[in-house]
Structure 1
């Protein structure tokens, strides 16, 4: 299974002379996308944010408004990191004097016109906000599913800036996007990029264990693009659909769902309080690990899983390398011990491109309503006899 994010590591890069963008000057990027309307007659008493985001379910970031600028705080930019603050100033307004915990905080003129994206999970938000033209760089083009972005890549309007797991630092600096939004991991390259005048902002949506909380990071990108109302409307629709599915299966009997598979000699499955387990639970599934409080992965012996879940009736593997039952049993013949589950195995590989891009790890992050709909239909098919699957397919 390919991780949805690319952890990028710096090999070698030269420190170039810093370039600092200020005010409403045009972007120096050769492939800058969107234009923007800036304040032309600044009034210090005016509120330049008529539409404000309210965070409902996400716990990883907050937005505070100050008439002509916003302060976005990311609680944990990457695992174990201290909170990071970013000051987003409406273009045409003076940059505020930053003191206290804002001293030295990255400052970004908004709406941004060009963004380098560190994770494909960010692209559906930009598409939903009608701001795909802002995306001018992606870490790895092969992993992109969104057709609008793929078209821009083909047209030369979006460049790749990572070589495998290594950020091509000079390419980022010479491209000079308004911002680089990271994939929620630290990297030595970021300090060099920031020193060159390109703010590096952390998208840590993947640390959210709530599916709705993860989807609500669309409001983070709305703050960058000035599309707060569009984000609110989009998220409201997603949340409504998600809660409707959860309510429909609420009264149905819980189904024992087997999750994961053997990897490097250990059965690896999501922790009981993880994002994936929360989705399965909301879809009407359960397991002997339902009360487990870990949010990462559990490593178990195959014998333990067989002993506790040999009667499971549904199996969800989320393994990109397995597309048939024959391949499943070839990987581990002892899987046949799950006599009921092996006739009902599902994998999140319905929307995989020839290059290996899996839309489950891309659009699925923004659309937990669609993911939950798939899960509810495969766990409780009696409730969804005509369901059209988006991300999951049954192995045969």
Structure 2
């Protein structure tokens, strides 16, 4: 995408002098305090904007359809879209954003949309609060819009890390605290959240920066989370490519799930034990959760698979051992180098059948140099690859030669 050739400023304040240097006046400041001397406003066809606006024309020849995701919707009008996030953070009220194609006039909004933020698309500058957003850009060829990440240490993507090293992408929350003044000074078009609220967000909104929620982690289904690539595409204008990416993921996921269903029918679902303990409590995925659905679709089962909840159950080791201690496979998220690391973390782990059999698998195979885990980065968009790994773990005889992407077997000590 072309780099925006004008400064992103708030008017009047300190922007006045710079606007003057650019030969502009305060009248160039439009809604939200941004200079309107932007090539998008001219409707230049070269930058993908509307040229010669026709109110009767549909400017979205390619439209995204949302089938699996439950936490966002997209509605199309002729020259703008309405992106609604139903739960922007746990128990948060729905938020809608009006995404107006560049070169089109801003629509007159009434009713529930009267106070909704208006964002010109495709955006030219985006700050990301979560590494899960990064594949949504790299896989759709829109990485150039990324200008900020919360903390580069957690990034696994070599492409993004290179952009951070070159100064094209800045870090705005290195100590896990959002630096509002830094973000306001940079003036990105959008800051995309990680599906949580932050006390600094009102300051950003007051400064004219659109804060757009991405709460894909509240989706219980793997394909529902992956479908958030379409929400990102609504901002970047990459609907066609996003559709192609998701269709491939959906198709490949279905193929692996079909093989797993056949394997489970031929024998019985393989019993697994998911999760580990933290501060003496075992966080166990409920059957209706993201992890629970992956295990089921991979041809596996576990004692809490029938729990319809979409969150985690907080259990004692004794409760887990009583029902799941005999599972032949243990799936963990710890960077253990050997099973000795597991018993060092808690000696009771040594009593698990999977530990004795040496069948402990961790999803930390693909870690970035700063410790970021690609399972929680690229794996969100690519549940087909996650499922393929799990299928190979549970049914190794039906997945000979499989190359693991996210999972690795923990060596037996």
The CA distance in 1 between the partners of 2:260 and 2:409, in whole Å, is: 20
Q: Which deviates more, 372-381 or 323-332?
A: 323-332
The answer to whether the 8 Å contact 2:257/2:298 transfers is yes
Distance 1:60 1:339 in 2: 39
1:140 matches 2:151: yes
Matched, 1:244 2:258: no
Contact 2:339 2:355 in 1 (8 A): no
Alpha-carbon shift at residue 308 of structure 1 (Å): 1.0
Aligned-residue offset at 1:127: 0.6
Cα distance, 1:163 vs. partner? 3.0
Unaligned runs of 5+ in 1: 1-15, 28-34
The one-character-per-residue Cα deviations of 1:244-293 (angstroms, maximum 9, x if unpaired) are 00000102220110011221112222122111111111101101111112
Moved more, 261-270 or 347-356: 261-270
Matched, 1:332 2:346: yes
Choose 1 or 2 for highest CA Rg: 2
Higher relative contact order (CA 8 A, sep 6+): 1
Pick aligned residue for 2:38 from 22, 25, 32: 25
Alignment map for 1:19-98 (pairs within 5 Å): 20-21=33-34, 25=38, 36-98=47-109
Name 1:128's counterpart in structure 2.
139
Q: How far has the Cα of 1:23 moved from its partner? A: 5.4
Residue aligned with 1:272, SS: coil
Cα pair 1:64 1:72 within 8 Å, conserved: yes
The structure-2 alpha-carbon separation of the partners of 1:216 and 1:22, relative to structure 1 and needing over 3 Å to count, comes to farther
Higher helix share: 2
By how many angstroms is 1:310 displaced? 2.4
Q: Which aligned segments of 4 or more residues in structure 1 are displaced greater than 4 angstroms?
A: 16-19
Q: Return the match for 2:216 from 205, 217, 223.
A: 205
1:190-229 equivalences under 5 Å are 190-229=201-240
Deviations 1:183-233 (A, max 9, x none): 111111111001101100000111001000100000001111111111111
1:261 is aligned to 2:272: no
SS at match of 1:57: coil
Tell me if the contact between 1:20 and 1:198 (Cα under 8 Å) persists in the aligned partners.
no
Question: Secondary structure at 1:137's aligned position in 2?
Answer: strand
Can you give the 5+ residue segments of structure 2 that lack an aligned partner in the other structure? 1-12, 15-30, 41-45
* Structure 1 residues 53-88: Cα deviation after superposition (integer angstroms, max 9, x where no partner): 011111111111110000011110001011110000
Tell me the TM-score normalised to structure 1 length. 0.91
> How many Å separate the matches in 1 of 2:223 and 2:238?
19
Q: Deviations 1:285-340 (Å, cap 9, x if unpaired)?
A: 101111112222211111111111222010001124x2321100111122222124
> In structure 2, the residue corresponding to 1:251 is in which secondary structure?
helix
- After superposing the two structures, state which structure 1 stretch, 341-350 or 202-211, moved more: 341-350
Query: Match for residue 367 of structure 2?
Result: 352
Find the counterpart in structure 1 of residue 9 from structure 2: none
SS at match of 1:79: coil
| Counterpart secondary structure, 1:191 | helix
1:281-292 map, 5 Å = 281-292=296-307
For 2:203 and 2:86, how far apart are their aligned partners in 1?
23
1:369 match: 384
In the alignment, is residue 383 of structure 1 matched against residue 394 of structure 2?
Answer: no
Does residue 122 of structure 2 align to residue 111 of structure 1?
Answer: yes
Residue 37 of structure 1 and its aligned partner are, at CA, apart by 2.7
Count how many residue pairs are aligned between Structure 1 and Structure 2: 373
Provide the rounded CA distance (Å) in 2 between the counterparts of 1:24 and 1:54: 34
Q: Distance in 1 between matches of 2:191 and 2:325?
A: 47
Contact 1:312 1:341 survives alignment (8 Å): no
Q: Decide whether the 8 Å contact of 1:273 with 1:294 is kept in 2.
A: yes
Listed as ranges, the matches of 1:153-168 within 5 Å are 153-168=164-179
Whole-angstrom distance in 1 between the partners of 2:39 and 2:172: 22
Map 1:5-16 → 2, pairs under 5 A: none
